[in-house]
Structures are given as C-alpha cells and as structure tokens.
Amino acid sequence: MINSVGVLGAGQMGSGIAHVFAQKGYGVTLFDLSQSQLDRARSSIGQNLERQAKKGTIEESAIGDTLQRISATLDISGLSGCDFFIEAVTENEAVKLEIFKTLDETARPDAILASNTSSIPITKIASATRRPEKVIGMHFMNPVPIMQLVEVIRGVATSDETFTTTASLVASIGKEMAVSQDYPGFIVNRVLIPMLNEAIFALHEGIATAEDIDKGMKLGTNQPMGPLALADFIGLDTVLAIATVLYDGFKDPKYRPCPLLVKMVQAGQLGKKSGRGFYIY
C-alpha cells in the first residue's frame, strides 16, 4: 500500500510531481540540496493550485489541504520513511547513478525507486542499486499537473510486482500510462527529439525563419506549439542532452545533434529559462 511518496529534485518536474500526488491525497516529501529551490517549488505549487481554483477545476479549500501534505527536506535521509520514490533531478547519467546509489542505502528495502528520466536506460540506473527488481522508469510530461501521460519503463530486472504497483499508482493520480521498452528516449522522446532537432537544422540551413518553421508545423500539422518554441520551453540543454543520449545509444547519424543547438547551449542560450533561445523572453 503506497501512502507516502518521496520526490527527489524540486525543479519544474519535481514540483509538478509533488503537486499531483499531494492533490490526490498522498503525503509527499520533497528533497533538494537548495533551500531556495524548495521555497520556489512550494510557491510555484501554491500559484498553480490557485490557478486551478480560479478555473474551477478544484475547490478553494483544496489548496491548503494539498500544501499541508507536502513537506520538504535538505537531507536525503529525511525521505527514509517513504513508500515510493520518484527521482526528478537533472538529466545527467552520473548524477542519477549517484542519487540511486545513495537512495538505495536510505530507503526501506521494500520501497520502489522510480526515475523520471526522459532518456537514460532504466537498466543502467538500476545497476547502481542492490534492488534492480524494484527500479522502474516513470516519465511524466511537462507541465505535470496538466499533461495526462506517464511513460512507464521496465528495466531488465524490474519485477511484475513493481510494474503492477507503479501502474496502479499512475491510475490513482488520474494519469494515462504508456508502456515502453528500455531503449534510449523511450517512446515520446524517441519521436519528439528528432523532430525538434530537424526543425533546428531547417533554421541552421536557412530554409526558413524560426517564426515560419513554427507557423508551418502549427498550422500545417495542427500542433499546439511550434517545434522551436517547444524546444525553448523544454530547455535547449535538455533537448541536447536527450539528443546526445539517442546518438550515443543508437550510433545512428540521424540522431546527430544540430551544430546550432550545440552552439546555443554553449552560449548559455537555453530557451525560456535563460530568457533567450530561438525566441527572446
């Protein structure tokens, strides 16, 4: 029985994950190394709850109840009592492996350890633990409170019990599950990132302006957001990281990151979060 969830990482994804679990009645402990990041996460969750209340999707009284279910800690040992864990730190393999090694030593032996990784193989992440049968991928879409999909990825050793528990958890928070095999990029990013990368190549090669590339894809394929605007929203550093995982994982030149993407990341032009990407914010 899962009653409490530990979320590692209080960034945009981690705070969104904490939001949806707390809203559905779970006790949530949010861990981060930065107090200011934890404070920003709590403020962001509060603002998003208020936005939901104004739209009429939740009752005003639910805001306080939801926030009360979320506690925060700067010490990973503060998560030790949780039943289920979701890691949502930066998309960096070395960082994730270190987190899972530490988490394995901290969590109860029966606890399930999930990763919100968008591209790194779950089998590799599970290898950092002594409980690979209890490690699984649980990839939420951004923004978490709005997007309905959760990709669930089994590693080589993931047990049926771990998969069944995770599937039930996804259903309990009102999300839909898509099951992927453990290959780089899984389903969504295996299809999405090459499209974004190709849009960047189109800009790089002077085929069209950023505005016209996005207009073409929005109006021509009925996408709600153009690929370059979407890349800015995701973060160009994250897009590059996933593209690199695909390229390294498959050794196929079709996944080669566009040189313009690499150059922009090197220049610190990361999209919306830095104030400048393909557009200025």
| Spans of all domains in the chain | 4-180, 191-274
- Residue 118: active-site member: yes
User: Residue 119 has what pLDDT?
Assistant: 86
Please report how the helices 210-221 and 188-204 are oriented relative to each other, as an axis angle in degrees rounded to 10. 140
Residue 5 tokens, joined:
């969830």
Q: Are 58 and 34 in contact (CB under 8 A)?
A: no
Q: What percent of the chain has pLDDT over 70?
A: 100
Residue 4: predicted pLDDT: 97
Q: Of the listed 116, 151, 180, 197, which one is catalytic? A: 151
Secondary-structure class of domain 4-180 per CATH? alpha beta
Domains 4-180 and 191-274 share a fold: no
pLDDT digits (tens, 9 = 90+) for 123-157: 999 999 999 999 999 999 999 999 999 999 999 99
Mean of pLDDT values over 274-278? 98
Beta-strand relationship, 135-140 and 149-154: antiparallel
The single residue of 118, 119, 180, 197 carrying the catalytic annotation is 118
CATH topology assigned to domain 191-274: N-(1-d-carboxylethyl)-l-norvaline Dehydrogenase; domain 2 (1.10.1040)
Mean pLDDT over 38-55 rounds to: 95
Whether residue 189 lies in the annotated active site: yes
- Kindly report whether the global pTM for this prediction surpasses the value 0.85: yes
Euclidean distance between CA atoms 27 and 45, whole angstroms: 15
**Residue 91 predicted with pLDDT over 90:** no
CA 256 to chain centre: 22
Give the neighbor-by-neighbor strand order of the sheet with 84-87: 70-73, 27-31, 4-8, 84-87, 112-115, 135-140, 149-154, 176-180
Residue among 91, 139, 180, 197 flagged as catalytic: 139
Mean pLDDT of 173-191: 96
- Residue-level pLDDT at 67: 97
* Average of per-residue pLDDT across 113-121: 94
pLDDT, mean of residues 194-200: 98
Whole-number mean pLDDT of the chain? 96
Q: Residue 136's pLDDT is what?
A: 98
Q: Is the pLDDT of residue 66 over 90?
A: yes
pLDDT of residue 83: 97
